[in-house]
Amino acid sequence: MGLTKKEEIWIEEQFDELIKMSKRLRSQEDVDLVRKAFDMANEAHSKMRRKSGEPYFTHPIAVAMIVASEIGLGVKSIVSALLHDVVEDTDYTLNDIETLFGTSIAGIVGGLTKISNILDKDATLQVENFRKMILTMSQDIRVIFIKLADRLHNMRTLDSMPEYKQIKIASETTYLYAPLAHRLGLYSIKTELEDLALKYEHPLIYWEISKKFTETEEERNKYIEKVKLPIQKSLEQENIKANILGRTKSIFSIWNKMRTKNVPFEEIYDLFAIRIIFDHPDDYPDSKARSQCYQIMALVTNIYPHLEDRVRDWVAKPKANGYEALHVTVMGPNGDWIEVQIRSRKMNDIAEKGLASHWKYKVNDKDSPGSLDKLINTLNQTLENNTNDTLSFLDDVKMNIFTKEVYVFTPKGEIKKIPTGATVIDLAYEIHSEVGNKAIAAKVNHQLKPLSHVLKSGDQVEILTSDKQSPKREWINFAITSKAKNRIKSSLREERIHHINKGQEIFIKKVRDLNLKLDHKRFKELRKTYDTPHKEDFYFKIGAGLIQIDDLEKQAAKTFKTFANYWKLSIPKFGANQTLNKKNTLIIDDADIKRITLAKCCNPIPGDEIAGFVNPNESIIIHKRICEKLTSLAATQGDRIISVKWTSYKLQSFKVKIKIEGMDKLGMLNKITKVISLDSRVNMKSLSFNTDDEIFSGEIILYVHDSQDLEDIIKDLLRIDGVNKVTRLED
C-alpha cells in the first residue's frame, strides 16, 4: 500500500522540522545531503507500513530527529539514521549507499544493518545483533548513538507489539541498552528507556507510581519554589547568572528504591533534586567553571545545612562517561534532605546528551575526550580476547563497559583503575599478564590477602609472585575483568592441550600393549565407565593424572559384555498433543500444575503477573514478571519467553513467605496465629519470631490458593494493634 496524499504532505513537513532541529548542519551542502537521503529513504520505504499502520518511513524520520536534537550529532549521523533500515528492508545495497553518500556513511549504515547469520546457534538473534553492534562500535562510535536512538523510538511505539514481544524488547532494553546509554553519558535517553521498559515489564507498578506522581505534583512544585527562592537571591547578589530547576526522580528510579529498600512510595523522601546551571560562555576556561561550582556550593551551604559525607565531587574527578558536576545534600526548609546539583551549561550539555555533544567522532582525534578513547580501547581488548561464545562475550561487555571504577595504588604510588568488585587477581593481570600468571597473594595496606580479595578505592596493593605458580581454574570464579578471565582461560587452554596430548599417548600405548580392538562405538562406551563420555576430557584426565587406566583390560571386558543393555531415557515434550505457539497466551489451570515448574527464584503464585520460559525440551518454567532472573533470560534468550495467564486455582495450595514487623505486645503471637489459622483458615508450614526490646519481627510460611488470599491475610494482619508492616518475601 502506497502513501496517501495526506501522508505525503505530513512527511514533507517532517523534513522541514528535521532541518530546524539539526543545529549542527553547517552549510547548504549539508542540507542538500540530508534532502538526498530523505528522498531516497522515503522512496525505498514508500510501500511499507509499521505494525501500527503508519507509513514505515515515520520510523527513520523519528530516529533522525532523536539523533539531531536529543543527542546532537552532525550531518553524517543524521543521513545514516535516515538510511539505517534501507539496506536491510529494500533492494538497495551497501555499494549503492557508498556510491551515493561515500565510504563513511556506508560504513555507519553497514554497522547498523542487522546480521542475517547467527554466529552462536545457542544464542538469540537480539544478543547476536548486540555483538555486531559492539564490533562496529569499536570502529565508529556513531553506530552506537544511532542504535540507541533507534531503540528509543521503538520503545516509544511499543504499544502496537504483542505482549510477548513487549516483554522481550523491554527486558533487553533494561539489560543492555539503558546501561549502555548511561555509560555514554546519555542520561535523558537512559532514563526514558528505563521508564518505558518498566511500563511494559511491570505495567501495574508503572501506572500506580505515575498516578501518585500526578497527585503530588502541585504540592511538590510549591516546595521546589520555596527551596529555590533564597538560593536565587544569593546568586543574584554575587552577579552569578544561573537557572535553578527542580529535577524529579524517574519512575524507574523510584520503583528501584522502593524495591531495594522495601518501602512504599510515601516513604521515598528524595523524589526530586535542585539543579543549578550557570552560564559558561565559549571562552570560559574549564578551570574557572570548576571554581565557580565550588563558589556556588559555598553559597548554598550558607543557606541550608549540609551533610559532609554526602558531597559528591565529580568536578575534580569526572565520571568515566564524562559527567562533571558537584552534588551536595542539604537540609531543606521543611526539615528533609534535598540533593543540590551544580553544573555549568557545558557540563549540563554533556550530562544530558553525553560526550557526543563535544566529540568530533574520530577515535584518534586529539580533541576527543579521554574517557571515550578508553571506552574504545576497552571494547577492542574485549573483542580481541573473546571467543565466539556470545553470552560470555555479553557478560564481558557488561562488566568492562557498564561497571563503575575504583582506584588503587601500587607500592610506588602509581594509580590503577579497576572495576568495582575487582579482586587482587584482576589487578595482577591489569599490571601485566606474567604478573597475573605468577601471582600467589598480595599485601593490601601491608596486610597479606588472597588473590580473591576484593579491592576498594584507596587500597595500596603489592602483588606477590612465584616462578612456580601457574594459573588455576578456580581463579575464574573470582576474576571479574575480561582481561583477567581471558588470560586465565588462555593459559588453561595451553595446559589442557598439553595434558590431552600426553593422555592420548598414554592411552594408545596401553591399548597396544593389551592388544585391544576398539571401534568408535566401543571406545565411546568404554569412556563412560570412567564417567568421562567426551574423548578430549578422557585424554585430559589421563594426562593430568585424574584417571588411572591400570584396570583398562578389566573395564573393557566388563563394558563389551553388557554393551547391548545400554539404553537412553527420552525426555517427554510439554503437552503430548499440544504444540506451543509462543505468539499466543498460554492459559494454565489446576490440570497443568504437574506439567509446569514454578521458579524458585521468585516463587510465583496464582494472581501474580507472570511469564513463561520455554526450555529446549519444551518444559515451561513460570516466573513473576518482576523477577530479575526472567529479565536476564528475556534479554539473552527472548525468543523463549511466552505470555502466560493463571486461571483460578482452588484445588492446589502454594507456599509463600511473609515478614511481619511491629511493637511486641502481650499475646501478639496468639493474635497473629488466630488471624491466619482460625479467621482465614490458612495452613502454616513454619513461623519464627525475634524480639529486640519492644520491637518484634517474624517470618511465616503459609499455604494459599492465590495472591488474593495472600492480600486478604495481609490486610487482616495489619488490623492487629501493634502490627506496623507486613510484606511478602520472594524467596
Task: List the grid coordinates of 401.
Answer: 563497559
DSSP state letter for 117: S
The rounded distance, in Å, linking the Cα atoms of 696 and 661 is 6
Identity of the residue numbered 439 = A
The rounded distance, in Å, linking the Cα atoms of 430 and 406 is 13
DSSP state letter for 335: S
The rounded distance, in Å, linking the Cα atoms of 584 and 642 is 8
In DSSP terms, 658 is beta-bridged to 700, 728
Q: How many helices (H) and strands (E) does the chain have?
A: 28, 19
The rounded distance, in Å, linking the Cα atoms of 439 and 468 is 10
Contacts of 568 (CB under 8 A, 6+ apart): none
Backbone angles phi, psi at 19, to 5 degrees: -65, -40
3-state secondary structure of 491: helix
Catalytic residue, candidates 89, 279, 395, 553? 89
133 and 147 Cβ atoms separated by less than 8 Å: yes
Task: List the grid coordinates of 164.
Answer: 510477548
Query: Other C-beta atoms within 10 Å of 209: how many?
Result: 21
The CA–CA distances, whole Å, from 19 to 12, 16, 22, 198, 357 equal 11, 5, 5, 33, 18
Q: Do the strands 415-419 and 306-313 form a parallel or antiparallel pair, or are they unpaired?
A: unpaired
Catalytic residue, candidates 88, 225, 238, 590? 88
Closest to 231 (Cα-Cα) out of 338, 387, 95: 338
Identity of the residue numbered 538 = F
* Range 714-726 burial, b when 16+ CB lie within 10 A, else e: bebbeebeebeeb
Closest to 63 (Cα-Cα) out of 54, 73, 53: 73
**89 given a catalytic annotation:** yes
Q: Do the strands 326-331 and 306-313 form a parallel or antiparallel pair, or are they unpaired?
A: antiparallel
Closest to 166 (Cα-Cα) out of 192, 202, 200: 200
Task: List the grid coordinates of 445.
Answer: 595496606
The rounded distance, in Å, linking the Cα atoms of 256 and 202 is 12
The CA–CA distances, whole Å, from 20 to 14, 152, 153, 346, 354 equal 10, 21, 20, 22, 21
Closest to 148 (Cα-Cα) out of 85, 45, 66: 66
**324 given a catalytic annotation:** no
Active-site residue list: 88-89
